[in-house]
A and B are shown apart, each in its own frame.
Chain A
Amino acid sequence: MDMVSFLSATVVAGTPLLYATLGEILTEKSGNLNLGVEGMMLIGAVAGFISAYTTGSPLFSIGMAMIAGAAGALVYTFLTVSLRANQVVTGLTLTIFGTGLSSFLGQKYVGQVVPDNVKNFFKPLNIPVLSNIPFLGKILFSHDILVYLSIIIAIALGIYLYRTSVGLNLRAVGENPSSADAASININLYKYINLMLGGAICGLGGAYLSLVYVPTWQENITSGRGWIAVALVIFASWNPYKAIIASYLFGGLDIIGFRLENAVISKYFLDMLPYLGTIVALTVFSAKKSRKNSPPKHLGLPYFREER
């Protein structure tokens, strides 16, 4: 097996996971547990694909995928923040809704291929100098534009959360909304904006699958990646930088089955690896508790100022 091409493919396979994980990190840092990642990815995937198929514009397709993901998140935010509905139930419902909606809208497009000009737009790009580094150049710097964008988003999210006062306020909203409220932070505004941003990033992750990774339309194109992302958030301990490593690790597990075709190990066992890895990661990392990797304290709970 060619190690360099395997690792390079790992990065590509990890990219949709990275988008979804980053979207959910932003969501959970606001104190909301949105289990609708899978749904938002699917809505984004179908919106992106249909836009690309009908208009042939890659940027428009990406934009539509993000808007679609954000729209899904908006419904979730309205229900959980404004109406204070149960977050787990609402998130699950969003996943079921997204799955159904994407199958319904995508019915006519099953098996259709992304137009050539869109495919060309997303073909691997070499970055001067960086791509010529032996090994690393091939693994990290010979990819399509969305791979680079995902890394940029990860770094930007890290700076936003840990290096800006807006990010500090956001973390306070997720940790202790009544303290944040007393410090004159507009809780609902913060939640609406960041949850919708999170949804947009998840939608982008879905579009990466339908526009670049596959790139044809098939039903349930995400095949559980949204769920893996929810687990990766915990695995990455809510840290966007760690999310990069975590996503590529699971991207690697995802493709190892194809790459080891002649292996003695059963193919079915290899296909199971990402899911098995998720279970192991969740068990190990939720048992280990420290300040650095503990979830936002108010995660999953509604906030109502006048509650006593």
Chain B
Amino acid sequence: MKERVPLISVKNICKSFGTVKACNNINLEIYEGEIHTLLGENGAGKSTLINILSGVYMADRGSITLMGEEIKLSSPKDSIKYGIGTIYQHFKLVDAMTARENIILGQKISFRKMRDVDLKIAELCSKYGIELELDKHVEDMSVGEKQNLEILKVLFRGAKVLILDEPTTVFTPQETEKLFNIMRKMKKAGCAVIFISHKMDEVMKISDRITVLRKGETVKTLIKNETNPKELTELMVGAAIDLSIKKVDAKIGRQILKISNLKVNDDDGTNVIKDISFSVREGEILGIAGIAGSGQRELCEAIAGVRGVKHGEIVFDGEHLEGKNPREFIKRGISLGFIPEDRLGMGLIGTMDMVDNLLLKSYQTEDGILINRKPLAKKALELVKKLDIKTPGINYPIKNLSGGNIQKILLGRELGLKPRLLIMAYPVRGLDITRVILFTI
């Protein structure tokens, strides 16, 4: 295998954001017809590397070679020209346009040749087993459909290197399996696939080779069949850790939350929660399962007081919550923490720094007109240290941090208030193994 010229190789790539070194001498070789997984913790530099390969970021130093020739990627345009197709973690689709319009975007195609376009798309669809309505608007699509559209976009441009940045995060197992089939077909067609995932079982299932990154550096490239999850995890973290999740025995106390005959509508006024009843006791973890869009979000938001309740009761420790908003919760000392799935939309404010974000939930309980930032600045520093949040400082706008670090801030704030009930929607999104373990302790 070593004699072959790699399809794409990356040598000594470095990239810094301010004082944070996101990539520090990353090396990578990817061959035709392989699925190569990038594995690493938050801030290991995976997403940064992907963004460099797709021309979004410019590398500070280092070189990229395609089939033995050095190439310069100074914009996404260059990347596409060299046949590198990226499916970004956050989809790059225009919501107000149809699938077809999104596919032909940026290409010199006469509108009169639209029939040829349709034929080519149909051909790709049948070849890779993708189903898609071309006239559907992106804003009406499910996550799975959007993902399919992104893949079609890349295939349509004839990509040789396909990069998938955490494509399975919001997928059901069935959707993931479909995606894997497409990846296998691309591999057979002689493409190189770069896959990024946090899910160890998926990594072991689909990869041919695996490169582990840690703190912006390449640790090692391994062949899948010669390694195991335990070794990979140790390489990722840099130390041996216990992967098994231990369920802590806790004393089951009295009932703390009781929901009866709850009915909640979604944003469009459709009734998504239809008559749900359950109760939670102290010392209990209640899991809510279901495919994306089954009403989990609406249920969580209704309990947290940010969504109106159509019918039914939510009783928290003897107090009715329906019809009350989060502000009243805080005032009445209803100790309820909420980790929404959309961390920058509902959880935190991206342009504010850490201290201000911590303040959001506690300023109302302060006395006087002026806000005292000091105690919270101290708390922010504590959180940075305790949760190992990678940030240039506590006064740095949080939207510039990596997704995992943002999630840590949100978790830190909610847990720091010592809630009696904590609602979490996809709490480990963007978090890696060590973090998840840390929080279960």
Asked whether, in the complex, the Cβ of A297 is within 8 Å of the Cβ of B88, the reply is no
Known: A164-B111, A165-B111, A308-B400. A172 touches B88 (CB 8 A): no
The 8 Å CB contact of B94, one of A163, A165, A179, is A179
CA distance A169 to B17 in the complex (A): 30
Closest to B76 in A: A182
The answer, yes or no, to whether A175 is at the interface (CB within 8 Å) is yes
Asked whether, in the complex, the Cβ of A179 is within 8 Å of the Cβ of B137, the reply is no
Stretch at the interface among A66-74, A102-110, A183-191, A245-253: A183-191
The answer, yes or no, to whether A305 is at the interface (CB within 8 Å) is yes
Asked whether, in the complex, the Cβ of B105 is within 8 Å of the Cβ of A291, the reply is no
CB contacts (< 8 Å) of A186 on chain B: these are 75, 77
User: Which 7 pairs from chain A and chain B are nearest by CB?
Assistant: A183-B106, A184-B77, A179-B92, A182-B92, A183-B105, A185-B106, A184-B106
CA distance A183 to B92 in the complex (A): 9
Asked whether, in the complex, the Cβ of A305 is within 8 Å of the Cβ of B137, the reply is no
Asked whether, in the complex, the Cβ of B97 is within 8 Å of the Cβ of A165, the reply is no
Interface-central residue, A169, A171, A182, A297, by most chain B CB under 10 Å:
A182
Asked whether, in the complex, the Cβ of B111 is within 8 Å of the Cβ of A184, the reply is no
B141 to A: closest C-beta gap in Å: 13
Asked whether, in the complex, the Cβ of A179 is within 8 Å of the Cβ of B105, the reply is yes
Interface size on A, residues (CB 8 A): 26
CB contacts (< 8 Å) of A163 on chain B: these are 111
Interface size on B, residues (CB 8 A): 35
B interface with A by C-beta (< 8 Å):
17, 54, 56-58, 75-77, 80-81, 86, 88, 92-97, 101-102, 104-111, 137, 139, 153, 399-402
CB contacts (< 8 Å) of B95 on chain A: these are 175-176, 297
The 8 Å CB contact of B96, one of A165, A175, A180, A307, is A175
Q: A294-B96, A305-B56, A308-B400 are in contact. List 20 more A-B contacts (CB 8 A).
A: A163-B111, A165-B107, A165-B109, A165-B110, A168-B101, A171-B94, A175-B95, A176-B93, A176-B94, A176-B95, A179-B93, A179-B105, A181-B75, A183-B76, A183-B106, A184-B77, A185-B106, A186-B75, A291-B139, A308-B17
A155 to B: closest C-beta gap in Å: 16
The answer, yes or no, to whether A306 is at the interface (CB within 8 Å) is yes
Q: Is the interface of B mostly helix, strand, loop or mixed?
A: loop
> What 1/0 mask marks residues of chain A from 15 to 57 whose CB sits below 8 Å from any chain B CB?
0000000000000000000000000000000000000000000
A278 to B: closest C-beta gap in Å: 26
25 CB-based A-B contacts, threshold 8 Å: A165-B104, A169-B105, A171-B96, A171-B97, A172-B106, A176-B95, A178-B92, A179-B92, A179-B94, A179-B102, A180-B106, A181-B56, A181-B76, A182-B56, A182-B76, A182-B86, A183-B107, A184-B80, A185-B106, A291-B96, A294-B96, A297-B95, A306-B57, A306-B58, A308-B17
Asked whether, in the complex, the Cβ of A306 is within 8 Å of the Cβ of B105, the reply is no
A156 to B: closest C-beta gap in Å: 15
CA distance A30 to B402 in the complex (A): 29
A265 to B: closest C-beta gap in Å: 42
CB contacts (< 8 Å) of A164 on chain B: these are 111
